Amino acid sequence: MTILRTSVRTGALRSRSFRWLLAGSTVTNLGNGISPIALAFAVLDLGGSASDLGAVVGIYALADVLTVLFGGVLGDRLPRQRLMIWSSALLAITQGVVAASLVLGWGSIVILAVLGAVNGSLGALSGPSSQAMTRQTVPASDLASAITLRRLSQNTAQIVGAGLAGLAVAAFGSGWAIGIDAASFGLAAICFTGIRVAPVLAPERASMLGEVRAGLVEVFRRTWLWVLIGQALIYHLFYGGASGVLGPIVVGDSLGRPAWGWALSTMMIGFVVGGLVTLRWRPRRPLYVGTWFLTLTAAFPAAMAFSHSLTLVLLGAFLHGFGLEIFSVGWDLSIQQNVPDEMLARVYSLDQVGSFVARPIGLALTGPIAEVVGFHRWLVVVAAVMLTSTLLALTVPDVRRLQRHVVPNPVIEAVP
């Protein structure tokens, strides 16, 4: 309670617009915590294999990657709030169709793949705007706490969502669980209508590709930015398939389906604990410290490789979430403090593209490769690659040297 009262005194929650942003993103993430688990078991219950599951999730990720660059450009051209409202409203409709297809018995793996591609595209259009919106809703002195509060709410909602997913799938089936996700998007659209912020001065209009190119120039101006985006590419190439494809199968077969939900919930608990730590702990070099903690993410696939032990799996999941959260807060703060506002949505979109462009490949290839190599052996390979790539990022001078901006906390400051 003391930690949370400290964050309130910093002023982030005094902003009405930030509270609406926080509420909308929280309910969205509640649904997002349910959807992956429900979707995985929906594919398996329809008779799909590990490769089928990888293909469905991979198509969603591919659509997200192909669309997110346009979302970044639009987020720097148009009112970001408007993109967030319309994207959430349309996602409520498309996820509602997915839920209806499963509940009413006319669903198929093809339908899940096609509507998954639509959902991936819609989410990508508003994702960069949602991230860039944080800086518009709070004064600079409260930016660090606002970032942490958003991530805490996101992770807490996903903990609850993952727990609800296991219960909902077991009690009512995957279709009703996905229906909860659809409702969460509708509620988020309503919340986003309450945001009131000053418009960002749009850059001089160029072609869509020209504006993407300008974003690339901004990314490659900063070594720490493109190096860690590259490291994230490797992470998602290997871990994405390990978690999205092998996790439900390996852990579900060895320890039961509820155990996979518990593992994801425990990982989210690690995120929350890491977020609480960052409310109080503000290291002078957030990227350097955060990248060291990022090495802990290798613990989860390593633990899944020995999935006969539930305790080991839960410990690995917790360490993964804890380390990734401390890194993510420092990463987000570094971008928000160092990238101009008129470029922020594009940089976030390029961050997402660079991070996730290899995820569809990993999802598609994990099933076939793991069936040849062996599921448990491949998880060991994934853990080794994740650890090695993170240690290599620590050798880059700009990652070690970048420092946090210290902004004085004013006595009185107007907040929209």
Q: Which domain holds residue 124?
A: 9-199+207-401
H or E segment to which residue 279 belongs: helix 257-280
215: pLDDT strictly greater than 60? yes
Q: Is 2 contained in some domain?
A: no
16: pLDDT strictly greater than 80? yes
Q: Is 416 contained in some domain?
A: no
Place of tokens 């977020």: 275
Helix axes 50-77, 109-137, angle to 10 degrees: 30
Secondary structure E strands in 172-323: none
Q: Is the entire prediction scored with pTM above 0.95?
A: no
Other CB atoms within 10 Å distance of the CB of residue 401: 12
Q: Where is pLDDT greater, at 4 or 192?
A: 192
Which residues make Cβ contacts (< 8 Å) with residue 82, sequence separation at least 6? none
The CATH code of the domain that includes 336 is: 1.20.1250.20
Q: Is 409 contained in some domain?
A: no
Q: How confident is the model over 357-387, as pLDDT tens digits? A: 777 777 778 878 887 888 888 888 989 999 9
Helix axes 2-9, 257-280, angle to 10 degrees: 60
Q: CA of 231: how far to CAs of 116, 293, 318, 351, 383, in Å?
A: 26, 14, 21, 11, 14
Q: Is 296 contained in some domain?
A: yes
* CA 50/CA 61 separation, integer angstroms: 16
CA 240 to chain centre: 12
* CA 169/CA 165 separation, integer angstroms: 6
Tally the domains of the chain. 1
Q: Is 310 contained in some domain?
A: yes
Q: Is 415 contained in some domain?
A: no
Question: How does residue 321 score in pLDDT terms, banded at 50, 70 and 90?
Answer: very high
Q: Is 92 contained in some domain?
A: yes
Kindly report which listed range (193-197, 214-218, 398-402) carries the lowest average pLDDT score: 214-218
Q: Is 283 contained in some domain?
A: yes
* CA 236/CA 234 separation, integer angstroms: 6
